[in-house]
Amino acid sequence: MGSFHRYLRPAPLGQIVTSRFLLLFVLFLLLPRLLPVAAADLSGRVTWIYDGDTIKVENIGKVRLVGIDAPEHKDSGRDSYYLRQGIRRARLRQVSKEALTFLIETVKGKYVTLETDNETRDRHGRRLAYVYLPDGTLLNQQLIAEGYAAVYRKFDFRMKQQFIATERTAQKNGLGLWQP
């Protein structure tokens, strides 16, 4: 029995510290792959503006700004919401151009940070995200505030109530889509 115990000697302190450090280091390297993607991990330079609610971000691809709907460049079935609000088609086309110009001037070539909501992709495979400008401004909400987009009410999303309040203010002030 005495010979058995000599093999159960505790490991030297240096080995314990080294092995624990190595284990923590490996966990540190693997942890980002095991957890959902954090907002800070989704950032990049805006390389293209498709329209008033879709951009392209370097190393990420097409990004659809979650919670907003900007008018299309051409007549579309999606115009029906705006037409029911009393907005004329000519106004929709004009605001579509203004939204595109605004995005080009505001974000093209700049680094943005993306934050996803409940749904991360739309039916077209585009990433759905809140887009934050370098100064912390939420681009999605800014487009609504300027009247370049309306709240996309078809689906639920975390910031829906804030966006609706922002839209009401834009309507009250007659901005963009809501110009009399």
Concerning whether 64 is annotated as a catalytic residue, the answer is yes
Question: If phi over 0 gives left and psi between -120 and 50 gives alpha, with beta otherwise, what is residue 136?
Answer: left
Closest by CA to 154, choosing from 62, 55, 77, is: 77
Closest by CA to 92, choosing from 3, 154, 177, 25, is: 177
| Choice among 9, 20, 58, 72 that is catalytic | 72
Alpha carbon 159 to chain centroid, angstroms: 12
Concerning whether 146 is annotated as a catalytic residue, the answer is no
Alpha carbon 143 to chain centroid, angstroms: 14
| Choice among 126, 127, 146, 167 that is catalytic | 126
Residue type, 32: P
Contact 151, 144 (CB under 8 A): yes
Q: Which residues are tagged catalytic?
A: 64, 72, 126
